[in-house]
A and B are shown apart, each in its own frame.
Chain A
């Protein structure tokens, strides 16, 4: 008596409806997490850019006209993120990030730019934040502009066919950019005195003091010859032999005359 009369096909309708719903969304959730590129890159994370690995060999079931977008979001926007908001709208514009647009979409490309398999030795990266020319241009909402702050941010790849999302990856881990400290925070004090410099100063000062003492001693004994000791020597006198003619020598020839 409590059961309501049901339509005879209701039981098969429900699963069919669910199946229709699923195919209507058509969203392929790929088990891939976007990661930063190899850490050998010096510019992996700067104060306004970061470098991601390209999603090579990830989007395998896409049609030819699908466009793969990169979504960059603040972590708070990840929970309520809706795939159906179209890129290029003010809600997804880079210029409004993060104030009016908590997530933006950029770096759109077709699968042709992510060929699989990747060539060995090739660096396959995406630099997020490299376009500075369109950063303030409101007519370019899909600009890959420099990030406004150190973050953190989370990213994912989203494939759209027209305006219908067909595949997406997982959200990445938190990506935090570098923060620049002011140069005034560098301690510029010297490292103190080195041992060599102290030794040099000490020894030279002592030697100079001894020499000054010697000079003072010299000046004190300059006038007095009282410093006579047995080993003083005389300057070799210049002895000039003078001819000494005595009277006798002169007078004798006169006397003989």
Chain B
């Protein structure tokens, strides 16, 4: 009996340890998802305008799942120490529900990241940037969001267009219908600006003299934060779920060994 008693105690200890780790990971997941939802790079309007902002939905689910994991881990520790069958059954059922939500969050984040290609942002930029006639309020809101975001992006990251300033030449755009090609081969924010926010040399910018206009594209500045966001939610969630799987299997085994 002593041997199995030791075995059970070891299993108890492992389960408690496993639940502690789940609790800490839950808090970490909540913190990470709050960080992503707060949109530090200001890229949310671009996603909103693609009507494909599900990586934000995944982050929101992550916040609540993190809290749930923390609470359930405490329940789990309590249940394992008390060896209470009912408590542990409740724990397993609630954990499985949380598991399902977190699974949804991970898969959503990973799937929707694949939709965010350069062509998607290029098309959106050409169709919405400085579009003048908006159909309804929603369209107006999205257009303003896209315009402000691109202006900020081009100014802060010293870049122009998605692949480069040639985007504005290769394709017709809403911008082009409002501003003539001779005066604005590309938007003013593509010019190198001085401290007061006006172009250093407007003619140099219009000519495309290297050094007076931004010749690189903004796609890296967009995809970097979005990749971090999506992979952070998806793969950290995946790691938590793998660990949780092991803990839950152990809990189920422990549960089956308790006798009233």
Q: In the complex where A40-B210, A204-B238, A233-B258 touch, is A186 in contact with B119 (Cβ < 8 A)?
A: yes
Q: Is A218 touching B92 in the complex (CB atoms < 8 A)?
A: yes
* Complexed CA–CA distance, A200 and B235 (Å): 8
Instruction: Report chain B residues within 8 Å CB of A210.
Output: 245, 249
Q: Is A214 touching B182 in the complex (CB atoms < 8 A)?
A: no
Q: In the complex where A123-B209, A215-B96 touch, is A46 in contact with B119 (Cβ < 8 A)?
A: no
Q: Is A49 touching B171 in the complex (CB atoms < 8 A)?
A: no
Q: Is B92 touching A125 in the complex (CB atoms < 8 A)?
A: no
Q: Is B182 touching A196 in the complex (CB atoms < 8 A)?
A: no
B86 to chain A, nearest CB (A): 10
Which residue in chain B gives the minimum CB-CB distance to A219?
A: B89
CB of A48 within 8 Å of the partner chain? yes
Q: Is B207 touching A127 in the complex (CB atoms < 8 A)?
A: yes
Chain B interface main SS type: helix
* Complexed CA–CA distance, A145 and B122 (Å): 30
Task: State which of A41, A43, A132, A191 has its C-beta within 8 Å of the C-beta of B180.
Answer: A132
B176 to chain A, nearest CB (A): 7
Q: Is A42 touching B103 in the complex (CB atoms < 8 A)?
A: no
Q: Is B206 touching A130 in the complex (CB atoms < 8 A)?
A: yes
Interface size on A, residues (CB 8 A): 60
CB of A225 within 8 Å of the partner chain? yes
B169 to chain A, nearest CB (A): 5
CB of A181 within 8 Å of the partner chain? yes
* Complexed CA–CA distance, A234 and B259 (Å): 5
Q: In the complex where A132-B182, A146-B181, A215-B96 touch, is A46 in contact with B4 (Cβ < 8 A)?
A: no
Chain B 73-97 interface residues, beta-carbon cutoff 8 Å to A? 83, 89, 92-93, 96
Q: Mark A194-220, 1 if CB is under 8 A from B, else 0.
A: 101100110111011011101101110
Task: State which of A178, A180, A215 has its C-beta within 8 Å of the C-beta of B93.
Answer: A215
* Complexed CA–CA distance, A123 and B207 (Å): 11
CB of A227 within 8 Å of the partner chain? yes
Task: State which of A127, A181, A201, A222 has its C-beta within 8 Å of the C-beta of B171.
Answer: A181
Q: Is B213 touching A235 in the complex (CB atoms < 8 A)?
A: no
Q: Is B181 touching A200 in the complex (CB atoms < 8 A)?
A: no
Which residue in chain B gives the minimum CB-CB distance to A190?
A: B115
Q: Is A214 touching B208 in the complex (CB atoms < 8 A)?
A: no
Q: Is A178 touching B123 in the complex (CB atoms < 8 A)?
A: no
Chain A 103-134 interface residues, beta-carbon cutoff 8 Å to B? 123, 125, 127, 129-132
CB of B192 within 8 Å of the partner chain? no
CB of B51 within 8 Å of the partner chain? no
Which residue in chain B gives the minimum CB-CB distance to A45?
A: B169
- Among B5, B127, B207, B248, max chain A CB count under 10 A is at B207
Chain B 219-260 interface residues, beta-carbon cutoff 8 Å to A? 234-235, 238, 241-242, 245, 248-249, 252, 255-260
Which residue in chain B gives the minimum CB-CB distance to A131?
A: B182
Q: Can you list 24 contacts pairing A with B, beta carbon distance less than 8 Å?
A: A40-B210, A42-B166, A46-B181, A46-B182, A47-B181, A49-B182, A51-B207, A123-B207, A145-B182, A146-B182, A182-B172, A186-B171, A188-B119, A190-B114, A203-B242, A204-B107, A208-B96, A211-B245, A214-B249, A219-B89, A232-B258, A233-B257, A233-B258, A234-B259
* Chain A to chain B: the 4 pairs with minimum beta-carbon distance, closest first: A42-B208, A43-B208, A197-B110, A183-B126
